[in-house]
Structure 1
Amino acid sequence: MVAEPEAGVSGSTPTPAPTTAAAAGRAPVATSAIKQERDRRRHQLRAVNASLWGAPGRQEAPNLDSNLKKNTAFIKRLRAPGLVADAKDGLLKDLTSLKVEKYVEEIVQAIPEGLSRSSKEKDVAAASEIVSALHTRFAPDAFALPLSALLASQLALPNKTALAAQLPDAREREESSRLARQKVLLRAAAELSLVQVLRGSSSTDASDAGMAWLFGIVKELLSTDREHANVPLAISLLKGIGSTLVGMAASSSSGTVPGTAEPFAASGGTDAESSAETETQLLSSEWRERFRKLFETYFATLVKHIAKDHGRLQEQDKRNHEAYIRSGEIFEDRQQSYERMTKSFEKLYELGKSLSDLLDVPIPALSDSSTGTGIGLAINIDARTALGDQSEDTDATGKSPWEDEDSRRFYEETIDLLEMVPVSLLGKPAGRTSQWTDATEDKAEGQGHDKAVAEIKEDKAAGAGEDPAMSKQRSPATSPVVEASDAAASPVLSSSALSDAIAPIETDNADRPINSKDQQAPEEALSSGPAAQLAAILARLPEMTNRTMIDSAAVEFAFVNSKGARKRLIKQLCTIPKNRHDLIPYYSRLIATLNPYMSDVAEGVLAVLNDEFRYCQKKRSVDLRDLRAKNMTYIGELTKFKIAPIHTIFYCLRVCLEDFSGYNIQNIATFLETCGRFLLRTPQTSQRMQGMMELLRRKRAATNLNHQQVMLLDNAYFQSNPPDRSAVVQKERAPMELFVRHLIYDVLTKKTLDKVLKLLRKLHWENAQVVQWIHECFTRAWRIKYSNLHLLAILVHDLQPYHPDFAVHVVDTVCEQLRAGMETNIFKLNQRRVTTIAYLGEMYNYRLVSSDLIFDHLWSMTTFGHPGGHALPGQVCRIDAPDDYFRIRLICALLDTCGHCFDRGSLKRRLDDFLVYFNIYVLSKERPLPMDIDFMLQDTLEVLRPTFALKTSYEEAVQAADQMFAAQQRNAPAQAPDQSVVDATTPQAGEAALQAEAEEIESSDDEVDTASPHSTAARLHDESGSEHSLAHADADETIDAIKDGATGEEEDDVGRGDSTEATAEQEAEEELERELAKMMAEGPGLSATGAPRSAQRNMLDDSLPFLRRPQQHTGGSGKSEQEQVSGGGLDATNGTLMRFSLLSRKGNKQQTRNLDVPADSAIAIATRAKQLQEQAERQHLKHLVLRYEVMQDAAERKALADEMGNRGIKLTYVDKG
């Protein structure tokens, strides 16, 4: 076993500045001594561990303790406290005394967790010795190789697919946790690889197998890190063993002050030379050069990333400044985006500076291209540069080829793969001249077009029946060749150095020139790793439906780029699933992203599309609608990315125009809808496209087309070339009008209702113009949220006491709007009509209109416009066609709003009668009903009348309506309301008597309420589930009062009566007298104890004990039966006294005694009135029961007579008495 090296100062800990010359000289000497001792111990451990890799086996020492408890405790100590300096001695001692060969797998699993706790330099050295001791104890196949594989898996990058599926916050937390864990683990693993404990293979002659394993791990972490998230890992590794890996100055890792490096080198030359020899023995110069170039290449890409982010930050700052100049403010989302970009840039720049110091390579200075971020009055000196983004002006005038800014970014701002992918995987960009960059067109375009047209004509004349090979592709042009000398140079390195540095990272799938022979050769085989990655990328392509995902797919494909991969990608891009044309824009963006470095992909796709177009032109009689639409859409999308050549675009368009019929008209419409606007507004194609549009206009005028084809062409034409119209001029409004509109349309909510009401009342209502503005807002209910309609009705209700004429005017206007809607039946106003009818229902809920008005509108919507007022099946009506179901929607909307109020009494009967007739109207429409109308109708009826079933036959519905009308006629009163004598000998007479009596006690439940508007807040506060329940509270109270005033009427339906004003006043006076008498009889409301009298038990509530009274003679002075009720009555002798029975209690015994009270006292008057009322009620109930028996008997006789009459027998009843 080897001893622990002396504890040294951590490489990341700065040395305190010496205060004297002696201290300044001792500090670098001490640091150098610690480093030399550390390297010496590494050298010793390396020699021992390297010799053990070739050893045949390990000899087990005798007399080892195999106690299970001690072995388990040893493994637990490996995990926690872990492989740290404090636990080193104990672990090494236990290792020499325990027999742990049976637990090698558990020890291997515990090592990574123990290494994750070795965060300090002395802990890393201790972990190196402990793991070396375990390596000495166990064979490499049992310990070292499994440990190497386990650490490699824990240092690997996470699954990109799993990360992409997480939310941004969860992804950021996972990434931070991974970096914190891998920083410590990578530092410890690097130390173990230096001492030859970890290897990628067990070959004995692989003296540098440990460095190869470490290089592979670091290369995997850095080469695929396009976002530079692993910069902290590189910094941590270089801080720990940077001088050993890359041979840099010891200022960073050993803590030496840069200013004192030369004096120390001069005074301690011998020590420095011995240290250099030790380093040379630990790591060869070749490996150090490879590590250094790997880190410098990674640093070069980091510098480019920093520069790019800096440029974006400046551009964003410039746009913010210009937005501030234009509008005087910077919007919150723009400000937040700028702050996020600033935070990200500052973090990345600090990491870049740290890595620059560790590599001893200066970071380039960032150029400041901004002209200033202050107020910047100089911006407006030149009118042409007042706005930096000229595209905004172009968009404002309608001359932009893009519909909006998002479309422009999608088609123009593609990513540059060179910024995210190593240059060796891409090669140099293609240097071809595109027709899109040159306004003039060459002769080859016209020749190619004429030749293609001739070929198609020959194909049509020959009438070829065989399908051409759809998989045949044109020979693409030569692919870019990977040349290391053309790679982008690092800011601090030459291009040759970068080329050599990246050489170990190159894969076997580097690009080669592609020619026609290679294209026809069998697809080259891919290794299992890249093939699996490519298959995963291609499988995910149909799910990538946003810009971020498709850009990520382009970068991932660049890492597996090869000739075979590109051929598979072309095949995938040309195979669009059916009805998935939404993928074409994203596939086109993928092609445009790859095109600068892999132009053969775009050319291969265009070749397939050209073959498809020719095939569709030959098969004019075959229904290939989906293929034609996909082909023209694909070509149009590639046109907007400037991938499709100009001559190919106009060749396809001219071929369709020459054969202007059938499917070619659909092709032209699809093509113009896709890229017509772009071609008309792009300088390279504008003039020629205008000629094509003129030719299309003439062809359309000269050809007899059907209605559908005309509509297709017109829509496509105006979508690509909309007519020039001036911008909509905003109407000038007065400040007061704007204020009123703001209150109603913006401010009005449930919480601000009272506030809006107060502000409306404060307006100048004496000004007719102000009232007109308010009236317009209150009668245009479709301009507010549908959920706020009831608030508008509440405002009208609360304004009514102060401005009744205004409320009436609003109601009249709403009714007139509904009437005008039925008269004109303009479809574009349907949404307004739905809102208006719901507004009328809310007015009824808040007692602004009567139920008569609601039922008038319901009936008018089923009868208006039809001959005779009846809707018949198949009957054509100009304003209510059989296939127009909108009135059903209006009726359902009105019933959904206020139909729940018609749930009792005469209103319930009226709604039931209407639903019977409404069934006829529904059946007069064409069947079956549309699904949305059917569902709406079912939902409405389920809420209002769950038991009501619509008839399915028109005849049955008509029969039910006839029965309903007949019942109404039978229930009509047969005699005048003032007739007092009723003949109850027949059922008809009895029913007429009941109807007349019911009408006498019917009263209104929907009179206009004039309550104070100050109750609005309380009404809204008490609403629960329905906004309308309390609107009828006062009506219910009125109904109850009228019922109490009626003489025992049993029917509970309360309708609208015809009582006069004098009758209402008389009833009110009688009710007041009764209440006054009741108060006088009850006495004070509080008892002597202060509690309410109703809360205490009253002795008068106790029942009187049964007392035997002496029988009175008929002719004597005893009381009559009417006078002996409730224990009191008038004295028959003089009529001036009323006798009461006074109940008293003595102990548990109740006693009564008679008490004479004057007849004119309050209690006597109230008691007498109560007795008379009870007597009248009993007489009335007796009368009703007797009359009910007579009616029932009459009904039974009539039923028997009808039944016998059906059998041919006539019955005659004879009254004997």
Structure 2
Amino acid sequence: MLQRLPGCVSRDLIDQLTVEFCYLNSKSNRKKLVRALFNVPRTSLELLPYYSRLVATLSTCMKDVPSMLLAMLEEEFNFLINKKDQTNIATKIKNIRFIGELCKFKIAPLGLVFTCLKACLDDFTHHNIDVACNLLETCGRFLYRSPETTIRMANMLEILMRLKNVKNLDPHHSTLVENAYYLCKPPERSARVSKVRPPLHQYIRKLLFSDLDKSSVEHVLRQLRKLPWSECETYILKCFLEVHKGKYSQVNLIAILTAGLSRYHHEFAVAVVDEILEEIRLGLELNDYNMQQRRIAHMRFLGELYNYEHIDSSVIFETLYLIIVFGHGTPEQDVLDPPEGCFRIRMIITLLQTCGQYFDRGSSKRKLDRFLIYFQRYILSKGRLPLDIEFDIQDMCAELRPRYSSIEEVNAALVELEEHERTASSERLSGEKRSDNEFQKHRSPTPTSSTIAANGSGVSGGVEENGRGYDEAPDSESYSDSGSIDREGHEDEELLSDDKTDDGSDGDDEDDGGPAGGSDEDESVQVRQKIVEIDPREEEDFDREFRALMQESLDSRKLELRARPTLNMMIPMNVFEGSSKDVRPIEGESGEETVDEEGGSGSGGGNRVKVKVLVKKGSKQQTKQMYIPRECSLVQSTKQKEAAELEEMQSIKRRILEYNEREEEESNGISSPAGNWLQAGLANSSGGSSRPMGRGNWDGAGRGVRHYRLHSSAGGFYHGYARRR
């Protein structure tokens, strides 16, 4: 059993040995045990706390064991205190630390400990300094925190510091004294103030950093969607960017949450990607050692975002190229990317190990092959790499692509790659030149003739404002009511489809064009060089102006009024027979056409209005009569439209009469500036066209006045149609 004592290096083992010794309790065995405890090896100081635990446990039933051990330790201390040789320093330290451990178990009396400490302070030289410091490191804090000894211990510590300041101690002893003092009595400072977060922020951090795992992703996503995003969106974004504060294995779960939230909070998902890219660039600019764990976590996060289809491969490759070229060619190159620094290599390896296995086909595979050539040249420029980086590179190349062994092989591959890209770019530019020439031939302007009638309604050949042409001139009388609008809409659709067909055929013709000449190849290369030398500021200005132009076009397009869809049904002629009243088709709110016939007599009565409903069953059309109240919204809106149309018609009639009178006065030489102004106003308002008065409204039923606009293009005239806003 005594041979098992040196192996008892845990509380369970020493407690089991204590119980077994109780079954072998005898006076001789107790003496043997005390002698074995006293003779602990001086180099095995880690056994002293467990031996003291055994003595403290046996002291409850064997009173002579602690007393015999303490007597032997005290006698040894008094013998060694006067020895000044170097051979006994380890024995002294073992002895005083054993007494200190017994003091913490309240086996050694406090008076014995203070007597030993006072004896060392009285002769504060040589080994006594080491003995005093070891005693304080063992039980000094216990004595200082105990209420019955705190004052006496504080006085001892003050004496210790005075002796240290008075005596000229060597640096080793001076450091020992300071460590022992501040271990017992730490410097007074304010307690660390923990950050106080509102309950909502605490709940968000609990969801992301405590509750999140593979089985709770859906639950966390639902809980995040329930939060008041107007209040906590900024804080959620901050927590998503702190992926380095959570578990590294949960980075992909944060990416899952980002992709899931993008369906409901698109701006938040975009902000996550923007902030991650900004953090990566900030890390490249600062190159701070303390940010390395954070930068690695961000690279893993970016790769996981690509794995869950939240970003495109172009973002990944732009980041990869940014890492290997950022700061090079600048005065700060050695600071941003030291020649012996390999952290950028680790960043690229982390990103490619996360998402590189998906670049295995198509353009992504070609992009990765191209990048790996540049990356391996960057690796070879670093010289000798650490073993961990070397092993990571070998694993990555074994998984993705083979690795080049020398800088010559990489340079040869780069020359071949650049030559291939130069050939492909020159072929592409020559093809673009050829296609532009063919496109100009197809789009060469041809002289168009347009005959404008006196009343402005007859056109022999016209082109619309957006470039589409009309084959037939619209006759003024053929534009009646909603039927004209319907026909016009279909004509627009047919013309648009024809344009698309023509464009597609042109594209096919261009793709099938003949091979490019050899003389154009060199010129294409020169053009490519000129494009590279364009001033970046000019490109930025051009892009900014182009975006402003496109935005202005989109905004103006949003303000245009779109015509409501009309029902493509021809009105039978029998609807208009047998009625001498003003009958007109009306487009109902549901999209069907009704015939409104107002009258106060008949079966409808004075409070109802008889209408004819046009229905279609199969290919047969027929009308049915029905009566609706006068207070119906359909009747009221129809009356308002007819009143507005009548007023507009009377206004136009009045202006036309005034215009005719002015023409007669001008022919008689009685013209005036006011008349000229009125004539210009009439010409602009009526579009330079007159129309005989008749049944129906003026160019469209309640859809805004449709009028001609006269334009000049390529030396000729054409008519364009536009709607009043």
With normalisation by structure 2, the TM-score equals: 0.49
Higher relative contact order (CA 8 A, sep 6+): 2
Whichever structure has more strand as a proportion of its residues is 2
